Structure 1
Amino acid sequence: MDQDAPYSPQPLTGVAAGAPKEKAGARMTVREAMEHMIAVTYGVTYDAVVTRFPAYEAMVEEVVGFVGRSVPVEATPRSVRVLDVACGIGNISIRLAREGYSVVGIDGVRHLVEIAREKTAERRATLTFQHLDISRDPVPGAGNFDVLVSMHTLYWHPQPAALLEGCRSALRAGGHAVFLTYGRPASVIRTFRELWAAEGLGAAVRALRWLLPTALFERFRDCEHRYLSTAEFHDALGRAGFEVLEARDTFLSDLSHLAWCRAR
């Protein structure tokens, strides 16, 4: 499969595309089912939205660069264990696996994990996916990961403190993490104007391919959006046991805070 091409979903064996898959006897509320369907729909659509989208690809390469800086010079890539938290359909995990790292992607939405596995069937030697939520579920190999990546999870997760605690527990002492979180909503008009002023009309128009579906998704998504200032972001990381080594704002018109950290 061309890993640079957007994913075209295929029906999974025994599961209707987008359908919640729960344990026998478990029942989802209407609200939970709607949230699940929205997440699955956006997760699949997002692949097409970000494929070959320069701003997104630049952000991914920033993350890859920080992961590379986290690896000891003497280490072989395959010996480096990387955990991708809330991996969705696996885009970041796939990119990191291309560097030769041993990558585990985890996500709380089962169907997204199944899609990620389907996309990457030929890469299973160094890339695996697990259905779990790091805020409440035990992570296989916890305490032994060298690097952790969490892209835009903190701003929506219902248990942010537990999320960060789980991330810290997954890392070995002295391991590194790359966290990104949105500092403000992705306002279509404001961001379009800022990009037009800073980078020209072409860049602003290209950004609409991400801004419009994201704004629609956030409108219908039933969760508390948590937009942190840089100080609040760093404070939360510090309370969870992380030391911020380097920080910057990134992505489009600096929508995101990025922090490269070390586990204390």
Structure 2
Amino acid sequence: MSYEQFAYLYDELMQDAPYDEWVRFVKEKLNQYHVGGNNLLDLACGTGELSVRFAKEGFSVTGVDLSADMLAVAQAKAQAEGLQIPFFEQDMARLEGHEEFDIIGIFCDSLNYLQSNEDVIHTFTSAYNHLKDGGLFFFDVHSLYKISHVFTNQSFTLADEHLSYIWNSFAGDSPNSVEHELSFFILDEQTGKYDRFDELHFQRTYPVQQYSDWLAQAGFELLEVSADFENKEPKEKSERIFFIATKKPSF
């Protein structure tokens, strides 16, 4: 999917996202599982906020995203920080032309934007094929509870002077999916009028066991499943589920 105009609003809307928590979480787990390399592939990297943060922490980062608009923002952001981060416009389910990495991450529930079982399976296979033996694969997803109780049939609004939005969420046609209808109103400072932009976003999630089965099918060994940055097993009302898997060394 293309984020179009949304790409240029994303960072402002996500300014309270726990990016530092993701960086802390990854560094903690790399130490825990004794992964020495720092070559990191940031899949569905979006505007590169995490790519930049990881690079500033000393990681050798490559970013991949399907949206050219998102990547344009990411590249400008990296250059502004004086960082050399290669970004590629690719589908994470169909990676090609890359080396193997020590760490691969799909952060910020980006996996939930894949619309079919097959896309998730292909993404796991792509990640497996691009991960070094003993490397770690991280991803986080919305829980079934969040999709059905936090998002579905809910409305969210923001009313600031220069940016406002109306965000309505409805149950999607697929099981455990949601469609987000977003209307943005952005102040044109030259005319004093507001421009309107509309976006439709789709997200879908699956039970923890389904993700676990697909990881095993791709060849991964699942190391742990936790929720909400707490290093604890998911509970009934957990909202964000974290998976860590490894590529077992081949002999």
Aligned length: 202
Task: Give distance in 2, aligned partners of 1:44 and 1:215.
Answer: 21
Cα distance change of structure 1 residues 41 and 63 upon mapping to structure 2, 3 Å threshold: farther
Write out aligned runs for 1:1-264 (5 A).
Answer: 36=2, 39-51=3-15, 53=16, 55=18, 57-69=20-32, 72=35, 75=36, 80-123=38-81, 126-141=84-99, 144-151=100-107, 152-158=109-115, 159-184=119-144, 186=146, 190-191=149-150, 213=167, 215=169, 218-219=180-181, 221=200, 223=202, 225-250=203-228, 254-264=238-248
Contact 2:65/2:90, CA 8 A, preserved across alignment: yes
Deviations 1:20-58 (A, max 9, x none): xxxxxxxxxxxxxxx52xx2333332311222x265643
Contact 1:70/1:147, CA 8 A, preserved across alignment: no
Task: Give distance in 1, aligned partners of 2:44 and 2:96.
Answer: 14
Contact 1:100/1:126, CA 8 A, preserved across alignment: no
Structure 1 equivalent of residue 191 of structure 2? none
Task: Give distance in 1, aligned partners of 2:102 and 2:218.
Answer: 17
Deviations 1:151-174 (A, max 9, x none): 223322141111111111111122
Paired amino acid for 1:101: F
Task: Give distance in 1, aligned partners of 2:111 and 2:76.
Answer: 27
Cα displacement (A) at 1:221? 2.8
Unaligned runs of 5+ residues in structure 2 are 152-165, 171-178, 182-198, 231-236
Deviations 1:209-252 (A, max 9, x none): xxx758497235364x4321111121111111211112101169
Paired amino acid for 2:211: F
Contact 1:50/1:56, CA 8 A, preserved across alignment: no
> What secondary structure is seen at the aligned counterpart in 2 of 1:155?
helix
Cα displacement (A) at 1:92? 1.2
Paired amino acid for 2:103: V
Task: Give distance in 2, aligned partners of 1:239 and 1:249.
Answer: 23
Task: Give distance in 2, aligned partners of 1:214 and 1:96.
Answer: 33
Unaligned runs of 5+ residues in structure 1 are 1-34, 193-211
> What secondary structure is seen at the aligned counterpart in 2 of 1:127?
coil
Decide which structure has greater helix share. Answer: 1
Cα distance change of structure 1 residues 100 and 55 upon mapping to structure 2, 3 Å threshold: closer
Q: Which runs of 4+ in 1 moved over 6 A?
A: none
Task: Give distance in 2, aligned partners of 1:183 and 1:128.
Answer: 32
RMSD (CA atoms): 3.3
Deviations 1:114-150 (A, max 9, x none): 1100111145655221111132241421xx2000001
Contact 1:67/1:178, CA 8 A, preserved across alignment: no
Task: Give distance in 1, aligned partners of 2:120 and 2:17.
Answer: 30
